[in-house]
Amino acid sequence: MVRNLTTDDVLPVINLLLKFHQESHQRILTMDTDKLVDMLYNYINTAEAFFKVYDCGGKIKGFFSGTWDSLYSVEKLGFLSFFYIDPCYRNGKVSLSLVKELALLQDEKDIKIMYATSTAGMGKVNQNSFTRLFKRVGFIDDYGCLTRIKK
């Protein structure tokens, strides 16, 4: 089931973020777990932020997070920060459930445009899978930036 991040999820999500870090080009950066903890609590406590986890019997198998703001417009813009699935659970129910929840969240929060990019350097295969997955819920590939416009 997909649900909001809670304080009980912080440790398992950090473990997944460490996996993400090792898979991505960002692995050349030094990971600071104190900053990760602060970041997760900020997601929990910030109204204009979202962090959803896929929980299967108490095991977190994936997550997505982001923020929204109106910036310079009347309507809200959304920005996906993370979308990660544990490698053991890719290409299945977890991925599709999370991306469907993202589209639902966009509609519920009345976010006019949601931006999603795969900027972590996860490789061509993962990039192509990411793009195909997001297109299933109405995102369009706008030259590497996936965009979904609420109708």
**pLDDT block averages, 10 residues each, the chain of length 151:** 97 94 85 95 96 96 95 94 90 90 96 81 67 88 76 78
Torsion over CA: 143, 96, 80, 102 (sign): positive
Q: How far apart are CA 65 and CA 80, in angstroms?
A: 6
Q: How far apart are CA 65 and CA 41, in angstroms?
A: 12
pTM of the predicted model as reported, rounded to 2 decimal places: 0.89
